[in-house]
Structure 1
Amino acid sequence: MTLQWNLVAGLLWFLSLGSAHKDHHQQQDNENWWRHEVFYQIYPRSFKDSNGDGIGDLNGITSRLEYFVDTGITSIWLSPIFKSPMADFGYDISDYRDIQREYGTLSDFDAMIAKANQLGIKVILDFVPNHSSDEHPWFIKSAKREAGYEEFYVWKDAKVNNDGIRGPPNNWVSVFSGSAWEWHEGRQQYYLRQFTKKQPDLNYRNPAVLQAMDEILLYWLQKGVSGFRVDAVNYVYEDEQLRDEPVSGTTTDDSSVDYLKHIYTRNQPENYALIQHWRQLLDKYAAENSVPARVMMTEAYADLSQLMEFYEDANGVQGSNFPFNFDFITELNADSLAQDFVFYIQRWLTYMPPGHSANWVLGNHDNPRVASRFGVKTVDAMNMISMTLPGIGITYYGEELGMQDYRDISFADTVDQPACDAGPDNYKWISRDPERTPMQWNDEENAGFSTAAQTWLPVHPNYPELNLNAQQEAIRSHYKVYQSLLKLRKSRVLQDGTFAAQAFNRGVFSFKRELKGQPTILTIVNVSNRYQRVDVSDFIDMPNHLTILVVSVFSQYRVGERLKTTEVKLSPYEGLVIQLKPRK
């Protein structure tokens, strides 16, 4: 009986170990789900219109959630959907707790979240902390000096010269040119606005502002969002003494944002403490509500050393889950050499603190699309790079199709405010409208985006040929390449494997992902406009069978084809993803 009981007890103990092991892995999955995620950015105005007014909306997004399931996307990030006068298309918020009317209602939002949850899709919201709209009740009350709101924004008295002429408090320049200070006649003071005059900067040195923003984050967390992308976070704090910034020496135009070195208006130490505070808020919420980790990703165009501080500080205090890596936008272009790609990829991985996840941003709503920036033939290769590198992939809507900028939008159809301000002679290359045109679903009217007679921005004229439906039906397409890459990302070697890279010449580079017990994955890309032939045998360091897993649309190769290690031939701008298996 004792022996029998011992056997039973031993079995129960073994099963409890298995259960504990399973629970441990479940906990790990909940905490780390974002580490290998692809976040798909939706520009809501341009994704799908459900009511025929020519503007994309929440119900339109809800109607297309199955698209993400089919594609392999499990996290979507929405550019601002909050109530706004739309001076900067949602980045000027007049109510952080309500939905912009043309996008829908809070009930529509709840329905979208409910369906996304059913389909296993996480929803990330844009959070804009630096400024509100000047139509926000906070600003209206602050301008009137109402009790509790007097210092909600950054106000400062004018400088008056010897002739009695009023001027701004200092020389700070707006991102969109001209003084960063706007005179308010009612309050008889200037307010800081680092962006448009409709976007006054909030004053985070006032604890009431921080408390109000904390409550807003909790409000949306309770509605079921899985995290936030924090906009322009490096602008939130300014020098407390409001000192003049030094001249950069790069331009003589004192109205240009490039005229000054922005040492007092960007990347202040307090920014990092703020992000650490919000990280603690998100982590506490997840723990107290027994839900998977709530992610925070931060947007800041800054020096590498400054970006790394967002991961964690010198004492290891955690900041955002990851700061956006914009090197593919700011440092690399169509003229970049293979060595440039290797350098900037390795640079991020080298400087990133241990235990964190890298990320690769190929495009967004503020910059030209991949096909327009690197060239239409590079689309597949660029997606191969971002999807097989270690860490997180960021996809801007339509990049999976190779959508292109519509740079020839007329001035009459232009709505981006900086472009409108530039006038009809200069708007074209300033405008951000070309990369924000409607999603190209099919070859029907307005590319299947809307039934309206006119859409908020014109659809790109190439939609009859370049659209999702056509690419789904084609034997080969950018979309099918992208789909294959997302499936491949689930492999252990791409999630946990080591990384090594090499440039073979000015045009071709490669990187490999290796994990013990798993076939090695090799990504090889020709970034030049010439045919190339390279020998990869020394790089892979052993005799191998090279079997092609993913090929570019216009590749000479086929999936499943084998290659010789000593002679890999690549067409201009071609990319290949290859599996390496040791020869027996």
Structure 2
Amino acid sequence: MSEWWRHAVVYQVYVRSFADSDGDGIGDLPGITSRLPYLRDLGVDAVWVTPFYRSPQLDHGYDVADYLDVDPMFGTLADADALVTQAHDLGLKVIVDLVPNHTSSEHAWFQAALAAEPGSPERARYLFRTGRGEGASEPPNNWRSVFGGPAWTRVGDTDQWYLHLFDTSQPDLDWRNPEIPAMFEKVLRFWLDRDVDGFRIDVAHGLLKEESLRDQRGQAPVSDHFEVGGHLDDEPMWDQPEVHEVYRQWRRILAEYDGDRMAVAEAWTSTVEANALYVRPDELDQAFNFDWVMAPWSAKAFADVIDSTLPAFTAVSGTPTWVLSNHDVQRHATRYGGGEVGRARARAATLLSLALPGSAYLYQGEELGLEEVDVAPDDRQDPSWFRTGEPGRDSCRVPIPWVGSEPPYGFGPGAGQPWIPQPDDWAPLTVDAQEGDPGSTLEFYRKALSARRAVARDAGDAVDVHLDGDVLSVRRGGLTVVVNCGSAPTALPAGDVVIASGPVGDDLPHDTAVWVSSAG
């Protein structure tokens, strides 16, 4: 199977925090374009860019007001075209983010819905329902928003409420209304015609809800802050069977275009088998493997995810993805303990990910060893912070450092702090500071991505997983990766060391991984 995406390394760019071209402290499309040579030299195959469409930015672009235009904050349609052209000239593919579960409350459709009467065609594009209780003063059901609080907002003093599984500014669309799939077919074709190579589908598991919108049974106590990965036995708002027909139609659209256009699902499902259903041959191409994201630093945990993931995806002729960080979760260097220990473990887990069959997704800044930042309350901007008072996701979204000894570290031409302030101690972590230093995380990533292309990418899909206490070994063709999650050194396997995540001698130290090449 030769499709480019099956074994690609994809680099996620969080557009606001990657590179600022005009000095306003916010990243933009020309900024990304100017840094594409850096990504080529890093050794990735594709770039996934988070939403840059017209938006009031209440959820930083995931509240889309116009899917067919670029927000002036980020540039113009011509800038988007230039980014795609330059990426292709450098041998990079471009994946753009698509947000089909909900629109912005400022989208023309929702504004028309608010102005229309209950039962009108305008309101039928969304999920408006009559409230319960005396005077319709209670929400239509007991669903909770992912960002905390009820998933319903009342329309003024009327008896009508609208559903928003996320922020109040993100009303959910009713995908049973044929106008919705028709609109998104136009959106897909608009960007495919502009030569993008694929789509990352936001909340891919959420488009269809149980038609009755019944109460959720057995609802757990709510912590009222943004969480990912948790599941209940009863989830009438997620992963409904009808959603797969949407993606069968999208598969047919993608197949009309040359160049192996692809789509990857952000689908939080209760089992890996349910996740794999999104990549059946007539549906999407990939789905993010969130079991890998949520796995703790543990040889057994890693082994369990590998052992469950590979058979599930083989059964549907799919290839898995391996992702450790993104813009919604805690950076894995922090998740694994923070400081030098966390960075060492993060490098080891990255080496394991890159050795496995399938594709790997990297999150901007992980190649610099960035950790979570303690963002001051006055600087927090995540909508979940405003709904719950919990810190939210700003800590993993701080703009990355490029050069210099103080903020903004070359993030843009301005001299002040960017949209989320950067720490004062990031000077040793800039791209410029790490470039050429063989012991740096950046040079480790460059070497690891080069080794993947040379040794691992074509090593075949069959793996042999062996767990020995706190030590995990995975054999793939002539390549063996060993990860020491224990507290003591362990013996190296026979063969030639291709790359290690840290210094190795006769033994493999704790919190370290190694690739060993052998015949057979």
Task: Give TM-score scaled by structure 2 length.
Answer: 0.92
**Corresponding pairs, count:** 506
Q: 1:193-248 deviations in whole A, cap 9, x for unaligned?
A: 11110000011111011101110110011111001000011111111112111023
In the alignment, structure 1 residue 153 sits paired with structure 2 residue 126: yes
- Please say if residues 218 and 234 of structure 2, whose CA atoms lie closer than 8 Å, have aligned partners that are also in contact: no
Residue type of the alignment partner of 1:521: L
Q: Where does residue 363 of structure 2 map in the other structure?
A: 396
- Please say if residues 158 and 166 of structure 1, whose CA atoms lie closer than 8 Å, have aligned partners that are also in contact: yes
Find the partner of 1:266 among 234, 238, 248: 238
Distance in 2 separating the partners of 1:206 and 1:95: 19
- Please say if residues 355 and 456 of structure 2, whose CA atoms lie closer than 8 Å, have aligned partners that are also in contact: no
Q: Where does residue 503 of structure 2 map in the other structure?
A: 555
Q: Where does residue 274 of structure 2 map in the other structure?
A: 306
Residue type of the alignment partner of 2:370: M
Find the partner of 1:455 among 412, 418, 423: 418
Residue type of the alignment partner of 1:152: R
Q: 1:456-509 deviations in whole A, cap 9, x for unaligned?
A: 001133311112112212122222221122222223653242311111222x11
- Please say if residues 224 and 388 of structure 2, whose CA atoms lie closer than 8 Å, have aligned partners that are also in contact: no
Q: Where does residue 471 of structure 1 map in the other structure?
A: 434
- Please say if residues 320 and 359 of structure 2, whose CA atoms lie closer than 8 Å, have aligned partners that are also in contact: yes
Change beyond 3 A, Cα 1:149–1:420: closer
Unmatched runs of 5 consecutive residues or more in structure 2? 337-341
In the alignment, structure 1 residue 438 sits paired with structure 2 residue 399: yes
Q: Where does residue 204 of structure 2 map in the other structure?
A: 233
Q: Where does residue 255 of structure 2 map in the other structure?
A: 283
Distance in 2 separating the partners of 1:122 and 1:54: 27
Indicate the structure whose relative CO is greater, using CA pairs within 8 Å and at least 6 residues apart: 2
Find the partner of 1:251 among 221, 242, 245: 221
SS in 1 for 2:428: coil
Distance in 2 separating the partners of 1:292 and 1:513: 29
SS in 1 for 2:457: helix
Change beyond 3 A, Cα 1:569–1:76: same
In the alignment, structure 1 residue 414 sits paired with structure 2 residue 380: yes
Unmatched runs of 5 consecutive residues or more in structure 1? 1-27, 515-519, 537-543, 558-567
Residue type of the alignment partner of 2:465: A
Change beyond 3 A, Cα 1:309–1:369: same
- Please say if residues 110 and 223 of structure 1, whose CA atoms lie closer than 8 Å, have aligned partners that are also in contact: yes
Q: 1:422-472 deviations in whole A, cap 9, x for unaligned?
A: 33xxx3xx3211111111212344121123312100113331111211221
Distance in 2 separating the partners of 1:165 and 1:502: 59
Q: Where does residue 141 of structure 2 map in the other structure?
A: 170
Distance in 2 separating the partners of 1:253 and 1:454: 33
Q: Where does residue 405 of structure 1 map in the other structure?
A: 372
Shift of 1:259: 10
Distance in 2 separating the partners of 1:533 and 1:223: 52
Change beyond 3 A, Cα 1:403–1:493: closer
- Please say if residues 442 and 463 of structure 1, whose CA atoms lie closer than 8 Å, have aligned partners that are also in contact: no
Q: Which moved more, 1:478-487 or 1:53-62?
A: 478-487
Residue type of the alignment partner of 2:317: G
Q: Where does residue 180 of structure 1 map in the other structure?
A: 151
Distance in 2 separating the partners of 1:532 and 1:449: 40
What do you get for the CA RMSD once the two structures are aligned? 2.2
In the alignment, structure 1 residue 355 sits paired with structure 2 residue 306: no
Q: Where does residue 321 of structure 1 map in the other structure?
A: 285
SS in 1 for 2:361: strand
Q: Which moved more, 1:460-469 or 1:487-496?
A: 487-496
Distance in 1 separating the partners of 2:245 and 2:465: 35
Residue type of the alignment partner of 1:251: P
Distance in 1 separating the partners of 2:519 and 2:218: 57
- Please say if residues 143 and 186 of structure 1, whose CA atoms lie closer than 8 Å, have aligned partners that are also in contact: no
Change beyond 3 A, Cα 1:198–1:235: same
- Please say if residues 348 and 513 of structure 2, whose CA atoms lie closer than 8 Å, have aligned partners that are also in contact: yes
Distance in 2 separating the partners of 1:160 and 1:422: 25
In the alignment, structure 1 residue 373 sits paired with structure 2 residue 338: no
Task: Give TM-score scaled by structure 1 length.
Answer: 0.83
Q: 1:266-305 deviations in whole A, cap 9, x for unaligned?
A: 1111111111211111112x2xxxx211110000111222
Shift of 1:160: 3.6
Residue type of the alignment partner of 1:405: E
Stretches of 4+ aligned residues off by more than 6 angstroms? 252-260
Q: 1:108-156 deviations in whole A, cap 9, x for unaligned?
A: 1111112112111111000000000010001111222387533111111
In the alignment, structure 1 residue 343 sits paired with structure 2 residue 304: yes
In the alignment, structure 1 residue 523 sits paired with structure 2 residue 489: no
- Please say if residues 237 and 266 of structure 1, whose CA atoms lie closer than 8 Å, have aligned partners that are also in contact: yes
Q: Where does residue 4 of structure 2 map in the other structure?
A: 33
- Please say if residues 428 and 434 of structure 2, whose CA atoms lie closer than 8 Å, have aligned partners that are also in contact: no
Q: Where does residue 6 of structure 1 map in the other structure?
A: none
Distance in 2 separating the partners of 1:120 and 1:377: 31
SS in 1 for 2:305: helix
Residue type of the alignment partner of 2:409: A
Change beyond 3 A, Cα 1:154–1:228: same
Q: 1:322-358 deviations in whole A, cap 9, x for unaligned?
A: 111012222x113x2x122111111100221253211
Change beyond 3 A, Cα 1:185–1:221: same
Distance in 1 separating the partners of 2:222 and 2:441: 45
Residue type of the alignment partner of 2:384: P
In the alignment, structure 1 residue 494 sits paired with structure 2 residue 457: yes
Distance in 1 separating the partners of 2:51 and 2:395: 19
Q: Where does residue 512 of structure 2 map in the other structure?
A: 574
SS in 2 for 1:215: helix
Change beyond 3 A, Cα 1:254–1:35: closer
- Please say if residues 526 and 570 of structure 1, whose CA atoms lie closer than 8 Å, have aligned partners that are also in contact: yes
Distance in 2 separating the partners of 1:252 and 1:448: 41
Distance in 1 separating the partners of 2:164 and 2:392: 21
Distance in 1 separating the partners of 2:84 and 2:513: 37
In the alignment, structure 1 residue 79 sits paired with structure 2 residue 41: no
Change beyond 3 A, Cα 1:186–1:148: farther
In the alignment, structure 1 residue 483 sits paired with structure 2 residue 446: yes
Tell which structure's C-alpha radius of gyration is larger: 1
Change beyond 3 A, Cα 1:256–1:80: closer
SS in 2 for 1:159: coil
Q: Where does residue 476 of structure 2 map in the other structure?
A: 513
- Please say if residues 147 and 388 of structure 2, whose CA atoms lie closer than 8 Å, have aligned partners that are also in contact: no
Equivalent positions of 1:211-230 (< 5 A) are 211-230=182-201
Distance in 1 separating the partners of 2:310 and 2:63: 35
Find the partner of 2:354 among 375, 387, 412: 387
